[in-house]
Amino acid sequence: MANAGCNCWGFILAFGAIGAIASTAMPQMERFTSYAGDNIVTAQSIYEGLWMSCVSQSTGQIQCKVYDSLLNLNSTLQATRALMVVCILLGLIAIFVATVGMKCMKCLEDDEVQKMRMAIIGGVIFLIAGLAALVATAWYGHRIVQEFYDPMTPVNARYEFGAALFTGWAAASLCLLGGALLCCSCPRKTSYPTPRPYPKPAPSSGKDYV
């Protein structure tokens, strides 16, 4: 019963990998707010994400621009893009694999051992996807912190953590937790169904032969 609970909760929590899609698509990976003098009316917020940068005016107008060149981007942004895309692809694959290993599904219901193995494989893929998202967001966040405390960076050009970065951390944590629970749903060897022994044939006495 406990294994079934780990199996179910692990699958539900691992769906946090979908949050990696939102984190990758959102333009609020990092942001900073600048003011023109002391006039708050002219304030604007600048957001930069993995695919575009946006400027939000105090009047409510938002203008976004997609990055023109891939090769012109810095290495941190390119690596973060690649890791987040890998996380999304692995998360989708893990969802299909773990679905087959769910106890409530009819797939492989005649082979309990194989069904558990599919759940564990799905959990391992979820762990790899969560690690990819965690490395990507931590690497990107480390760059923001470095530039923020760099004395050469102008005060009005220092970025802070955006909403997409927190979403990525939450998605990575849920993916790692769900994958770990799926890996822990493996039953003990004593609980595996053992094949039914066949009855041994009775020894022949030799009286039936003439």
What's the rounded Cα separation, in Å, for the pair 96 and 51? 28
For the chain, the straight-line distance linking the first and the last C-alpha, in angstroms and rounded, comes to 60
CB under 8 Å to 84, separation ≥6 — which residues?
A: 20, 23, 24, 50, 132, 133, 136, 168
Banded pLDDT at 206 (limits 50, 70, 90): low
When pLDDT is cut at 50, 70 and 90, the band that residue 89 belongs to is: very high
- Rounded-to-integer distance, Cα 1 and Cα 190, Å: 15
Q: Quickly name the fold that domain 2-26+70-189 has.
A: Butyryl-CoA Dehydrogenase, subunit A; domain 3 (1.20.140)
The pLDDT mean for the chain works out to 76
CA dist., res. 47 & res. 160, Å (int): 10
pLDDT for 191 = 46
Higher-pLDDT residue of 111, 117: 117
Q: Please state which of the ranges 73-87, 96-110, 158-172 shows the lowest mean pLDDT.
A: 96-110
Q: Would you list the domain boundaries of the chain?
A: 2-26+70-189
pLDDT at position 135, please? 93
Phi/psi-derived region of residue 68, left when phi > 0, alpha when psi is between -120 and 50, beta in every other case: alpha
Give the residue with greater pLDDT, 3 vs 66.
66
Query: Higher-confidence residue: 85 or 99?
Result: 85
The model's pTM is 0.76
Query: Is it the case that residue 35 has pLDDT exceeding 80?
Result: no
Query: What are the structure tokens assigned to 134, written together?
Result: 């965690």
List alpha helices for the chain, DSSP H.
2-14, 18-25, 75-100, 112-148, 163-183
Contact assessment for residue 23 and residue 140, using Cβ atoms and an 8 Å cutoff: no
